[in-house]
Structure 1
Amino acid sequence: MSRAVNRVFVIGVGMTKFEKPGRRENFDYPDMAKESVTNAIKDAGISYKDFEQAFVGYVYGDSTCGQRALYPLGMTGLPIINVNNNCSTGASALYLASKHVAGGLADCVLALGFEKMQRGSLTSQFNDRTNPMDKHIESMTEKYDFESGPAAAQMFGNAGRDYMKKYNVSPDVFAKIAWKNHKHSVNNPYSQFRDEYSLEQIKNSPMVHDPLTKLQCCPTSDGSAAAIIVSESYIEKHPEVRKTAVEILAIEMATDMASTFDSNDCMRIVGYDMSKKAADKAYAKAGVKPSDVQVVELHDCFSANELITYEALGLCGEGKAGEYVERGDNTYGGKCVVNPSGGLISKGHPLGATGLAQCAELCWQLRNQADKRQVKNARIALQHNIGLGGACVVGIYRLAAFNKPRVDSKL
């Protein structure tokens, strides 16, 4: 169904530095939220009282943490909805905020994400009920034995194994992706890790689940990020915010399909098909092609996922991701810079904050505010945030162009 919708803009972004859990003192989730939201408000040049709605994402925490996080910033009676969609939680909050504005339900909405995590690998918090990942694990173990390593590393590592078998690529390709992302993070002051490693150091770090070594896996992290989403009518009433406005041309979500479980393919178990579906919908709505994109923030929870997602997003052809990496098409001087922030592997992965941190990075890139990690001539940016269980959000952005005619689209 086609209908006229409001154009949607990001006018302010903010985030904290991502930290190893427990490293920073006095950094509970209300502290994180206050820092990221204050930074976003300052970036936009508006007031907290302008918010008509807030969507707040986190995975680990009791109910209504969103309220506890925002109340110190203003007791305005603001409607606050808490969001949990596993590792895609941040972008899910952003998706809801964007759709709220697109549908004319509000003109100024806050999307906030944060996470205070425990050290070590992710584990299930509830053992007295059905695990939402049971079907994914069951499908994986029909093909590979369940081993002693972290479940997520096994799932994405086995996806890497399937890719290697199908297209005859070397495990070195995965290591080169991690090498790139660690190298990019050197120039990101918000990144949890800012060390550059040699390819040999990446390959020789402790094995987590073959072919994934430790330096090819994202860490657990503490941190927060926020974005302020507004309508065109809000900008018309507050023309001073135009200088920071980035338009969200499209933001789309997809969840698992039957192929996730019946394809006997670990790439699909970890979300290849829902990534492709969300991306295809976003490209169609935005009216752009993959070749139009200059900069991407991609959900590289493990290097294997970055590799298979190149193809899901259409950045290269099927079976061509290895060549894409070997040519350097995924970094500065190539076709498209993927994860200039350092990605999850090096920047860190506080689950609720990741999708909004991706949004922040892409806004800075499009505004030409990314300093040493700036992508030259960045005009179109793409975000990919995935959570197993599952949900995938893909967003497409450009610097606001107010002189262009309004176009009817699909909500």
Structure 2
Amino acid sequence: MTERVYVAGVGMTKFEKIQSRDWTYPEMVAEATGQALADAGVSYDQVQRAAVGYVFQPSAAGQRALYEIGLTGIPVVNVNNNCATGSTALVLAREWVQAGLADIVLAVGFEQMTKQAMAGDGTIPKVTTVDWHMDALKAAAGFSGAPMTAQFFGAAAAEHMLRYGTTREQLAQVAVKNHEHSTRNPKAQFQDAYTLDQVLGDKLVSDPLTRSQCSPMSDGAGAAVLVSERYVREHGLDRAVPILAQELVTDTGASFESGSMIDVVGAPMARAAGRRVLETAGVGIDDIDVLELHDCFSINELLTYEALGLCGAGESGELVESGATTYGGRWVVNPSGGLISKGHPLGATGLAQCTELVTQVRGNAGDRQVAGAQLGLAHNLGLGGACVVTLYGAPGTVS
């Protein structure tokens, strides 16, 4: 039997509005990594490898990000997988441990974003990471002046409404729920509740999505220390959280063959990754207690409900409206506030999801604790395209 890999420590900064805090990316990484190392009870000189993820910083920023923490000569691998970067760093770290290459490894994700980096220089090269997505959007809905990612997901929302009768109110309810959850999270970028009328009446970004249904640009970092099962046994780490299953998948022809914008924005990847994770762990979606889903836009949370099997196709609007995905319901989805409210520094998002779920299954989430949480599932998506689904179990499980 393959030995499990455990998360021994986690940490993250507060996610901040871009350029609102005077800090450098090595400073934010030091803050998150320091928390993770302290949580794990290890020092940096015990770490044998590090995977460091980011999207907009220069080449080899991963090494520079760790200079203030230590210069120990370990292998540092720089990771960039768009919005799935943080979870991809986590995948790489887990694989190192599982392969027996190291007993203690570090996964880090960070971002210091700018409007200029997100907007680019206004030119569109012949080949981009999302040129196939743009071709699909052009065929399905044409282009508008909205940010390109908002156009992708706005078109997917319009398609879902047309195909299944999903309402604007149901889309907005995702944001209402997640903004309310964020009032319990001191590390969330936004910590204010919104009424349904406020979400619906907010500035339109890409029809039917309003501003409070869209994740903001954010700065911040997250980190996790992963260790081998042997290390857990030898050191009696009773708080270590097992990674029960994890899958990284990329686009197949299914993402583009149908002409559906729902498929273009990642639903096939989420279905494949989710199915494999549940099969590997031998559990069903009804066994999961708490989920952190990649709600970059409200529609994507609804699409992911369907992809992971929380409900059938076209039923996600009714599911969120019923209260099934908040406290007191069948699952609690995005207790952190999700990307919409917690924030979305691209390279850090997957590690922030890890931090939230590890905290939840340990029972240490305070006011946002999901009662009796034993299984937590994370879904981290990047267009262009990658999807990582990870299942965490409660501490004390040693195979």
TM-score by length of 1: 0.95
* Contact 1:54 1:109 survives alignment (8 Å): yes
1:345 aligns with: 340
Distance 2:383 2:36 in 1: 29
Cα deviation digits, residues 111-161 of structure 1 (max 9, x gap): 000000013793346855621110111012111111110100010111111
* AA in 1 matched with 2:220: G
2:260 aligns with: 265
* AA in 2 matched with 1:254: V
* Contact 1:122 1:150 survives alignment (8 Å): no
Q: Which secondary structure state, in structure 2, belongs to the residue aligned with residue 192 of structure 1?
A: coil
Cα deviation digits, residues 85-105 of structure 1 (max 9, x gap): 000000000011111111212
2:3 aligns with: 6
Q: Which secondary structure state, in structure 2, belongs to the residue aligned with residue 365 of structure 1?
A: helix
1:359 and 2:359 correspond: no
Distance 2:388 2:96 in 1: 16
* Contact 2:362 2:395 survives alignment (8 Å): no
Q: How does 1:196-235 map to 2 (within 5 A)?
A: 196-235=193-232
Q: How does 1:62-141 map to 2 (within 5 A)?
A: 62-119=58-115, 122-124=118-120, 127-128=124-125, 130-141=127-138
* Contact 1:15 1:37 survives alignment (8 Å): yes
2:32 aligns with: 36
* Contact 1:206 1:213 survives alignment (8 Å): yes
Distance 1:121 1:318 in 2: 36
Q: Please list every run of at least 4 consecutive aligned residues from structure 1 whose deviation after the TM superposition is greater than 2 angstroms.
A: 119-129
Which of 292, 311, 323 does residue 328 from structure 1 map onto? 323
Q: CA deviation at 1:5?
A: 2.0
Q: CA deviation at 1:325?
A: 1.0
Cα deviation digits, residues 207-266 of structure 1 (max 9, x gap): 001110000000000000000011111112222xx2321100011011111021111100
Distance 1:130 1:41 in 2: 41
Cα deviation digits, residues 352-382 of structure 1 (max 9, x gap): 0000000000011011111100001101100
Which of 273, 285, 292 does residue 290 from structure 1 map onto? 285
Deviates more, 1:350-359 or 1:315-324: 315-324
* Contact 2:361 2:395 survives alignment (8 Å): no
Distance 2:157 2:246 in 1: 27
Cα deviation digits, residues 23-81 of structure 1 (max 9, x gap): 111x1110000000000011111111111110000000111100001121111101000
* Contact 1:6 1:103 survives alignment (8 Å): no
Percent of aligned positions that are identical: 50
* AA in 2 matched with 1:76: T
* Contact 1:15 1:35 survives alignment (8 Å): yes
Q: Which secondary structure state, in structure 1, belongs to the residue aligned with residue 226 of structure 2?
A: strand
Distance 2:127 2:169 in 1: 37
| Equivalent pairs, count | 398
* Contact 1:248 1:398 survives alignment (8 Å): yes
Q: How does 1:108-257 map to 2 (within 5 A)?
A: 108-119=104-115, 122-124=118-120, 127-128=124-125, 130-239=127-236, 242-257=237-252
Question: Kindly tell me: are residues 181 and 120 of structure 1, through their superposed partners in 2, closer, same or farther at Cα, counting changes over 3 Å?
Answer: farther
Which of 4, 12, 15 does residue 15 from structure 1 map onto? 12
Cα deviation digits, residues 260-297 of structure 1 (max 9, x gap): 11111000000000011011111111111100001000
Cα deviation digits, residues 149-179 of structure 1 (max 9, x gap): 0100010111111111111121111100000
Q: Which secondary structure state, in structure 1, belongs to the residue aligned with residue 143 of structure 2?
A: coil
1:388 aligns with: 383
Q: Which runs of 5+ in 1 are unaligned?
A: 407-411
2:305 aligns with: 310
Q: Which secondary structure state, in structure 2, belongs to the residue aligned with residue 110 of structure 1?
A: strand
Distance 2:107 2:117 in 1: 27
2:272 aligns with: 277
* AA in 2 matched with 1:304: I
* AA in 1 matched with 2:100: G
* Contact 1:121 1:220 survives alignment (8 Å): no
* AA in 2 matched with 1:82: N
* AA in 2 matched with 1:93: A
Distance 1:307 1:120 in 2: 30
Q: Which runs of 5+ in 2 are unaligned?
A: none
* Contact 2:185 2:336 survives alignment (8 Å): yes
Question: Kindly tell me: are residues 376 and 73 of structure 1, through their superposed partners in 2, closer, same or farther at Cα, counting changes over 3 Å?
Answer: same
1:58 and 2:49 correspond: no
Q: CA RMSD in A?
A: 1.3
2:365 aligns with: 370
